[in-house]
Amino acid sequence: MKILIVDDEPSICQGTERRLRQIVNRDTEIRQAYTPREAETIFRSFDPDLVLTDIRMEETDGLSMLEKMRTLRSDFAAIIITAYDQFPYAQQAIRLGVSDFLVKPYTLSELRDAVSRVTEELIRSEKSGTPAESGQENPEGSGDAASCEKPAGHKPGSIAAYAADYIRKHLGSQITMEAVCEELHVNYSYFSRQFKQQTGESFSQIVTREQMAWACARLQENWRVNEIADSLGYQSAESFSKAFARIYGMSPRNYLQQKEGKK
């Protein structure tokens, strides 16, 4: 496997390579580039399987660089490493086939998971004989000529990665699939289908599970059940309690009593 790291801060490139060396095979080749222009030059000769890049750089942004690289070769994976909120870039990133976002400061485990997903994508692509980023569906759907244009690509995992980040950022409030679709500028049916394919679960299943984990923490902070229900967008404390019981097999009150009994 060949990996190209791009960041305009050499120390960050070096740190990223040190982390990668802890999780990749010994025969993995890694190169560093400190400007998008240098990265494009290395890209032509090095022919990487994976590009890890920052978004904000002095010369140009990482997504513009990836767009140029896609015109040279399409069968490579990309991971964005950034300190910035990913959602303003989500639609362009999906179109460019970005596999995942890592938000600084990220852990070694998060980097390992992202690289593992990319490796699996590349292996699947090699077996199927199709580019890793090739997309066959139109996420914006609809009927006019412009909306029928297909994006350049959709990495398996990208939709789920964006959605998971959205869920994490909005825990403690009502989370709907419509809101995520609006953020990503994709239609409801496309998002639902892609999310289920990539995670094996429905969006609502994952949202409910994450919300209930958040609710458990709030219960232990002495929040009232009706306060939690309101925060999560339930119509009543009773409807929240039923949803909670489906996950944990007991009411919020019994859950809290059980936790307190173990102290």
- pLDDT band for position 154 (cuts 50, 70, 90): very low
- Over residues 54-60, mean pLDDT: 80
Q: Which pLDDT score, from 0 to 100, does residue 45 have?
A: 95
Q: b/e for 153-170, b at 16 or more Cβ within 10 A? A: bbbbbbbbbbbbbbbeeb
CATH 3.40.50.2300 in the chain, residue ranges: 1-132
Residues of the chain with CATH 1.10.10: 206-261
The single-letter code of the amino acid at 193 is R
Q: How confident is the model at residue 128 (pLDDT cuts 50, 70, 90)?
A: low
Residue 71 has pLDDT above 80, yes or no: yes
Which architecture characterizes domain 206-261 according to CATH? Answer: Orthogonal Bundle (1.10)
Is the pLDDT at 245 greater than 80? The verdict is yes
pLDDT score of 102: 79
The fold adopted by the segment(s) 1-132 is: Rossmann fold (3.40.50)
Flag whether pLDDT at 140 surpasses 80.
Answer: no
Q: What is the pLDDT of residues 9-23, one digit of tens each?
A: 999 999 999 999 999
User: Looking at residue 238, what is its pLDDT?
Assistant: 93
Q: What would the DSSP string read from start to end of the chain?
A: -EEEEE-S-HHHHHHHHHHHHTTS-TT-EEEEESSHHHHHHHHHHH--SEEEE-S--SSS-HHHHHHHHHHH----EEEEEESS-SGGGHHHHHHTT--EEEESS--HHHHHHHHHHHHHHHHHHHHHTS-TT---S-TT--SSTGGGPPPS---TTHHHHHHHHHHHHHTTS---HHHHHHHHT--HHHHHHHHHHHHSS-HHHHHHHHHHHHHHHHHHTT--HHHHHHHHT-SSHHHHHHHHHHHHSS-HHHHHHHHHHT-
- Lowest-confidence range among 40-54, 62-76, 142-156? 142-156
In whole angstroms, give the CA distance from residue 159 to residue 181.
10
- Cut 0.75: pTM above it: no
